[in-house]
Structure 1
Amino acid sequence: MSTPTPPTLGDRFRYRFDALMSRGAWALILWHLIMALAAVLAVSLLVILCGEVPADADGVTLGFLALLWTTLMHAIDPGTITGDEGSRGWQTLMMIATVGGILLVGSLVAVLVASVAQRFDALRRGHSRVLEQGHTLVLGWSRQIFTIVSELAAANQSHKGGCIVIYADLDKLWMDQALRAQLRGTGRTRVVVRAGDPTDPGTLHLVAPEHARSIVVLAPEAARDDTQVIRTLLAVGRCAPAPGRSQHVVTEIRDPRNLAVARLTGERRIEVLEIGDLVAKIAVQTCLQSGLSVVYDELLGFAGDEIYFVDAAPLVGHSFAHALHQFEDCTLLGLRGVDGRVQLMPAMDRVVATGEKLILIAADDNRCNVRPWSGSIDEACIVANHNPTHSPERTLILGWNTRVPAIVRGIAAYVAPGSAVLVVSSDPAAAPALAELAAELHNVTLEHRVGDISDRRVLDAQDPRAWHHVMVLPDDRIEVSTEADAQVLVALLHLRDIAADLTIGLARPFSLVSEMRDVRSRDLAEVARADDFIISDRFIGLLLAQLAENAELSAVFAELFDPEGAEIYLRPAANYVALDRELDLHTLVQSGVRRGEVVIGIRLARPTPDDPNHGIIVNPRKSTRLRLSRADQVIVLAES
């Protein structure tokens, strides 16, 4: 075993120098100042020892302080030496002072430039403290961030603007660039990005969580569980809101077993979205009713119509049926009681009470005004109420992900007894999960077949003519969202070709719905001519943005997506009013009242070519007059 050699003088010098360098810019500046003064003092003493002290203009020999000043001027200003007229020794010593000064000043300038550059780089990378109040704080980063920012910016358009603060453990410059690339501006809303660990309560003070109006916690894209979300919620719980500040937290959870845990992580109100169950409910409703995703997109997005709570004082004492006709630019959905309980589509004879709130669909909160109506209903246009019979339905699900069991249960809750569901997938996890699920179902026959959904031969073997609904799902095993969507796109193109061979120019015999993980895939999917698209990331982002603005909407959305509550349906216009006769929306609304339903819009079978909503009109003006055809539909809020 060798014995280490004792440190040399050079080793000691290098160690001390490294220690000095690690202390930062101020230590280096102080070291340069000391070295400069020491050098000036040394040269001045050398001038005195060599007897080269010059005289001034009056012939008086310079004093020690004057000599120090002259030497210092030579050190910091190289041009001073050009005016020297002293002896050779004096000029030589001043040249030494000038060269030493050039070296020290150059080194000092380098330190200052590096220090300033480092400070600017730190500012650009988001390490400065945020001094905002009443902002929306987003903790974490995922694909939903772009939807959330754009929707919150749209919500602030009618106000003086707002601020969104994003805090994520990523490079700030990359986040800024990604936001600029994905968004087309944020209008009056300022977006502040900071880099750091949102699970660390010691650094959360940088983004002022105590002064935020609401906090949104996002799960990382690569996360397979809810650990990161729970840790972030716990960190937020350590930062108490400022006195007088009312705020709530909105987050997403993958595992339903963690819902209760998430709500126990702090004293704030916490609204938790169980994303798997939520997307499954949207997928079920959209599968059974094509076009429904556009309705949800309209209600959940801030760019069009959204849901508001308005004081019910102007309509106190009136029935709910009467109140439905008292808004020209709004659609009444339900009531929120004094106890805070939300009731969508209450009984038509329900009387509005003092202290209650009206739940309205409107383009903006400044349009939620009562406009008394005293017109008449065209009774001749109203079709007598009838109870449609429900026949068994057959649903084909292509692909497998963790939401399929919830989707199958949801379908079973809606369809008539004797219905059938077939799942085609190559995922090994599908067979045991579906075998266990089949034992729970009573009114639906569940079957599983192994096959690659992007293989045309597999799709042909399923005989699409035998199915009423076809749903194509992305594979969870594919981590990259665009690659998972690519498999769905291939299946959609095959199904379009199969439908063309089956129909020969007629209407497709089955409805076709697909789920996409990336919103950019929707434009590509338009080529496949599917009836509906479910962009899961976009829907989650829309819901998070809505709840960030108003936590009270949580109860409304919970009932809309619950099979046991009031839900949105698209039904034939012929069931409500006489076809090809001109009527106003009040007549259509009254036809819904007699069925105990709320009419919230219409779907035109032949929309204009540039209509982005494909003929779906939510919250039309009550005075609008129109003629409905047999292919048109009425969008209603009903229980079955």
Structure 2
Amino acid sequence: MGRRRAVSWQHRARYAFDRTLARSTGALLGWLAACCLAIVVPVSTLLVWTDPRAPRSLTERLVAVWRTSAETLRLGGVTGAPLRMLLSVFLGLIALLCVSTLVGVITTGLGDRLEELRRGRSRVLEKGHAVVLGWSDQVFTVVGEMVISQVGRVRGAVAVLADRDSAVMASDLNAALGVTRGVRVVCRTGAPIDPAALALLTPAAAHCVLVLPGDDDADDAEVVRVLLALRALLGAGAGPPVVAAVRDERFLTAARLAAGPRGFVLDVESTAARLLVQAARHPGLVRALRDLLDLTGAEFHVVHAPDALGLTFAEISSRYEEACAVGYLAADGRALLTPASGARCGPGDRLIVVARDDRPPVAKREGTAVDPTVMADRPDRQRSFSKTLLLGWNRRAPLVMESLSRTAQPGSHLHVVSGADDGPVTAGAVGPTDDERVAVTYHVGEPTRPDTLRALDLFGYDSVIALAPDAGPHRARPDDQLLLTLLNLRAVEEETGRALPVVAELTDHRSLALAPLGPEGDAVVRGELTSLVMTRIAQNTGMAAVFEELFAARGGALALRPASHYVLPGRVASFATVVASALTRGECVIGYRAHDARTPRREADVRLAPGKAERRVWSSSDEILVVTPPDADARCPGAASDERPARPARPDMLPEARQGREDRPARGPAPE
């Protein structure tokens, strides 16, 4: 054994001190008194001995030292017999104990009050504010959009209620949103399923109420309970519009019944799947969707336009300089998109437009001049099948497959590659979807492995959809596997010098900045676009029918077309000419994107609702953003992805679908 090292006296003293403190509170008080005396008495002695007016005798100086020390320690300064001095010390200690107890009581009471205030239990006394119930990854998008909607209001406010610490919620929102431009973001702690907690936000006086879905399917039952709690607090059919969302369609009917006639409930998974398919069909469409759905810049609006009464849709499209008309919202609440050119605006109809604000557009007496000589001829009718590669598997994969099958041409092919534990069937299985329009091939393989991807003919597919696996006990961050897949795809692009049309579905918005996307790649954050749909409906309930028609009934009515389909390349033409050319094929133009070879398509800006008089030289690489009619494939070549099969749409997105679409009138003039 080696020699034991000698222990220094400092370590021994520290150890003895620690053992003494650990004994009891009395020992701690004793050490505190000893330390105080060790400091106060020497300093008091120094003060007395350095005082020129101090007594000369030693006894009097010691008495002066005692008085100075006693006054410092608040023990009294009585002198004389030892008994009197002890009684003075005793009374001083009693006084010190009483004062300390009083300070402790006051401090505890103030601390409890401040903690109660910090938890956010005071009632929100606002009017016309936005109420957000629940907490999930969608809260940052929803609250951010609600803040924008409250800008300009007197005492604009957004109130958030969740079963979390209000200080933590406020800190997270402030970090994510930054400056809120005068709009107060108020956080309150409480269970949204409790009517008493809901009353803290004064929802009856709110402009709108949004109920966020949880991160798991199991939270959908709580969404139903929150809607029932609102019903119990406000009454059936009373209060502001309520917009909610669920992840599992099994809860959709119950949620709509609980929401009542003023409620709107979205199916998050189905809506996300449709938007994902649209993004895969049209590379670069994600940016346009975000711009159309958020509350900045131009977006969809439902407006009253008295001067449009009796005008045909063609006349309306040309006379509104700063707005792009896309259809009518009938008096009975039904949306009619891309109506016939001769369809007239009838009494009670409202215009559906893409514009920068929701004010009624100002019509010109005569529309902007159109130059028919630069219009392109209508392309020949052509239909082609598509090939799609689906990498990965999660609970939304079947919905993606269904949406693909509804919008694909007969003879199309879908190849699914997923792990053995994630995929639906064994490798090599081939079969059609429910409507026998798309043949599906399954292959067992890990998309995160380079050899799996290199064994595929990646450039033989029209689009590649990459999905993150569902979260689980062994997958704290599902996006990690998806990021690995995107890295491997990016490596293939760099090796071959070719771009892959990849669209990835991420679960965490923080992963968006990390995604290694190529020039033709794009990424969608799960729930982000659905959150934007919720906020738009909350601002204008008439938008519910519009979005149901755009994203549910047709399976996707937005498309990016080459500008050469509408105007001759290399020629100068006004935007009004592009609008008029598209209108001859039943399409409504709402914007365009100029091509820039140095900018990836996903980052290129889409100009929404530019002025009709704007003139520019259009190139064949420019793209036009249009709202398409149901028979778009008969009008545009190579657009097999836009076909709308004649089959009933699933009523799982918006409440208008509850009314049934079988009695909807054929496209034509709006009722007068």
TM over 0.5: yes
Shift of 1:612: 8.1
The CA RMSD over aligned residues, in Å, is 3.0
Give the stretch that moved more between structures: 486-495 or 519-528: 519-528
Q: Is the 8 A contact 2:318 2:367 kept in 1?
A: no
Q: Is the 8 A contact 2:75 2:88 kept in 1?
A: no
| Alignment match of 1:445 (pick from 422, 439, 462) | 439
Shift of 1:158: 4.5
Q: Is the 8 A contact 1:248 1:268 kept in 2?
A: no
> Does structure 1 residue 251 correspond to structure 2 residue 241?
no
Shift of 1:250: 1.1
Shift of 1:101: 3.8
Alpha-carbon spacing, 1:92–1:531, altered in 2? closer, same or farther (3 Å): closer
> For residue 19 of structure 1, what is the aligned residue in structure 2?
none
For residues 145-544 of structure 1, what are the structure 2 equivalents within 5 Å? Answer: 145-160=139-154, 162-240=156-234, 246-267=239-260, 269-366=262-359, 368-428=361-421, 430-432=423-425, 438=432, 440-478=434-472, 483-502=477-496, 504=497, 507-508=498-499, 510-525=500-515, 527-544=517-534
Residue identity matched to 2:270: D
The residue matched to 2:547 in structure 1 has which SS?
A: helix
Shift of 1:428: 3.2
Give the stretch that moved more between structures: 261-270 or 446-455: 261-270
> For residue 103 of structure 2, what is the aligned residue in structure 1?
109
Q: Distance in 2 between matches of 1:365 and 1:346?
A: 21
Alpha-carbon spacing, 1:477–1:612, altered in 2? closer, same or farther (3 Å): closer
Q: Distance in 2 between matches of 1:97 and 1:477?
A: 67
Alpha-carbon spacing, 1:123–1:94, altered in 2? closer, same or farther (3 Å): same
> For residue 128 of structure 1, what is the aligned residue in structure 2?
122
Residue identity matched to 1:298: D
Work out which structure has the larger RCO, using CA pairs closer than 8 Å and 6 or more positions apart in sequence: 2
Give the stretch that moved more between structures: 532-541 or 346-355: 532-541
Q: Distance in 2 between matches of 1:479 and 1:582?
A: 59
* Structure 2: gaps spanning 5 or more residues: 1-72, 633-672
The residue matched to 2:509 in structure 1 has which SS?
A: coil
Q: Give CA deviations for 1:461-491 in whole Å, capped at 9, x if unaligned.
A: 1221321211111111457998322222221
Residue identity matched to 2:297: G
Q: Give CA deviations for 1:180-217 in whole Å, capped at 9, x if unaligned.
A: 22222211211000111111223322222222221111
Q: Is the 8 A contact 1:209 1:241 kept in 2?
A: no
> For residue 31 of structure 1, what is the aligned residue in structure 2?
none
> For residue 35 of structure 1, what is the aligned residue in structure 2?
none
Q: Distance in 1 between matches of 2:602 and 2:440?
A: 37
% same residue: 31
* Structure 1: gaps spanning 5 or more residues: 1-77
Shift of 1:270: 1.4
Shift of 1:271: 0.9
> For residue 52 of structure 2, what is the aligned residue in structure 1?
none
Q: Is the 8 A contact 1:496 1:529 kept in 2?
A: no
Give TM-score scaled by structure 1 length. Answer: 0.81
Alpha-carbon spacing, 1:372–1:608, altered in 2? closer, same or farther (3 Å): farther
Q: Distance in 1 between matches of 2:147 and 2:601?
A: 23
> For residue 636 of structure 1, what is the aligned residue in structure 2?
626
The residue matched to 1:411 in structure 2 has which SS?
A: helix
Q: Distance in 2 between matches of 1:317 and 1:269?
A: 31
Shift of 1:257: 1.9
Alpha-carbon spacing, 1:527–1:376, altered in 2? closer, same or farther (3 Å): closer
> For residue 569 of structure 1, what is the aligned residue in structure 2?
559
The residue matched to 2:366 in structure 1 has which SS?
A: coil
Q: Distance in 1 between matches of 2:482 and 2:547?
A: 28
Residue identity matched to 1:363: R
Residue identity matched to 1:239: L
> For residue 40 of structure 2, what is the aligned residue in structure 1?
none
Q: Give aligned pairs, total.
A: 558
Give the stretch that moved more between structures: 311-320 or 606-615: 606-615
The residue matched to 1:520 in structure 2 has which SS?
A: helix
Q: Is the 8 A contact 2:287 2:605 kept in 1?
A: no
Q: Is the 8 A contact 1:162 1:190 kept in 2?
A: yes
For residues 20-99 of structure 1, what are the structure 2 equivalents within 5 Å? Answer: 99=93
Residue identity matched to 2:465: M
Give TM-score scaled by structure 2 length. Answer: 0.77
Alpha-carbon spacing, 1:565–1:445, altered in 2? closer, same or farther (3 Å): closer
